[in-house]
Amino acid sequence: MAERLYRDCAPGYMARAKETDVTFVNGSAGRAVRIVVGPAMIAIGLVLGAGWSALAIVGPVPLAAGALGSCLLARLFHLPLRATGSPGA
């Protein structure tokens, strides 16, 4: 199915779609989402316990990335590490 998706799309479409998604995540809106998702992951991991405790362990990563204004996924797409809406960017 993935082969058909790539074959049927206009040249460069998937690259532009990925860049748009990462640009959102690297912007101030994505930063706000990371700041909200981090504590939510921690809370879910602590409340549900057992196998869900992995969320509590990983939760500080998006929280810290949002608080520091960095996007860890941006490097995978050769975009700047600092969020576009963060101070000093």
Show the domain range for 33: 2-77
Question: Are 81 and 70 contacting, i.e. CB atoms less than 8 angstroms apart?
Answer: yes
**The pLDDT of residue 82 is above 90:** no
d(CA 54, CA 6): 34
Structural Rg of the chain based on CA atoms: 16
Please name the amino acid found at residue 51: G
87: in domain: no
84: in domain: no
Of residues 7 and 34, more confidently modeled: 34
pLDDT tens figures, 32-80: 989 999 999 999 999 998 889 999 999 999 999 888 888 787 777 777 7
Which pTM does this prediction carry? 0.65
6: in domain: yes
Q: Within 10 Å of residue 61's Cβ, how many Cβ atoms? A: 13
d(CA 70, CA 82): 4
